[in-house]
């Protein structure tokens, strides 16, 4: 478990379920990543090289969190985006676990841990690299991709 502090405003998650409820709803790997702040192995999830259009939904609650429109190949082995699906789709938190200072990214709806954001993304348009666990996402190919916004 990492200690994460909420930055600035109080962005309370809108969906609250008990650990038991999440455990019964998710696969063990989904639970480990999203509810226990785990990280999948690089190149382990096919979404890192997924090119199809659509909306990436939170695997826990179905909220659209990322979009094929802002996805890029970072070469890291994790799905990478330069912006969330829309403003307010994710929340960002200071994460000081493992003696590093990183910014954790969570689903704004249910607080699922999705990954981290780093300032070394493509300079245009945002410079951000959202490094996201594929197991935390569900690609909805029927949904119209969002332009993305931050």
Binding residues vs Zn ion (CB under 5 A): 58, 60-61, 63, 107, 109-110, 112
Q: Nearer to Zn ion by C-beta: 83 or 137?
A: 137
SS3 48: helix
DSSP secondary structure, 104-118, as one string: EEEETTT--EEEEEE
Q: Is 131 a catalytic residue?
A: yes
Q: Nearer to Zn ion by C-beta: 122 or 149?
A: 149
Question: From the CB of 44, what's the least distance to Zn ion, in Å?
Answer: 21
Give the CA count within 13 Å in the CB-facing half-sphere of 41.
2
Question: From the CB of 137, what's the least distance to Zn ion, in Å?
Answer: 10
Q: Nearer to Zn ion by C-beta: 23 or 122?
A: 23
Q: Is 98 exposed, middle or buried (0-12, 13-18, 19+ CB in 10 A)?
A: exposed
CA-CA distance, 35 to 4, in Å (whole number)?
13
Question: From the CB of 65, what's the least distance to Zn ion, in Å?
Answer: 7
**How many Cβ atoms are within 10 Å of 108's Cβ, its own excluded?**
24
Catalytic residues: 131
């Amino acid at each position: 478990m990492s200690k994460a502090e909420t930055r600035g405003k109080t962005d309370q998650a809108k969906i609250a379920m008990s650990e038991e409820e999440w455990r019964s709803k998710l696969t063990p790997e989904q639970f480990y990543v999203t509810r226990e702040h785990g990280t999948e192995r690089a190149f382990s999830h096919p979404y890192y090289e997924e090119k199809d259009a659509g909306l990436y939904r939170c695997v826990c609650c179905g909220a659209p969190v990322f979009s094929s429109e802002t996805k890029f190949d970072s070469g890291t082995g994790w799905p990478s985006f330069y912006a969330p699906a829309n403003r307010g789709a994710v929340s960002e938190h200071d994460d000081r676990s493992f003696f590093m200072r990183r910014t954790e990214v969570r689903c704004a709806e249910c607080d699922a841990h999705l990954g981290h954001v780093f300032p070394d993304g493509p300079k245009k348009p945002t410079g951000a690299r959202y490094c996201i666990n594929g197991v935390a996402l569900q690609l909805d190919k029927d949904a119209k991709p969002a332009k993305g916004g931050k």
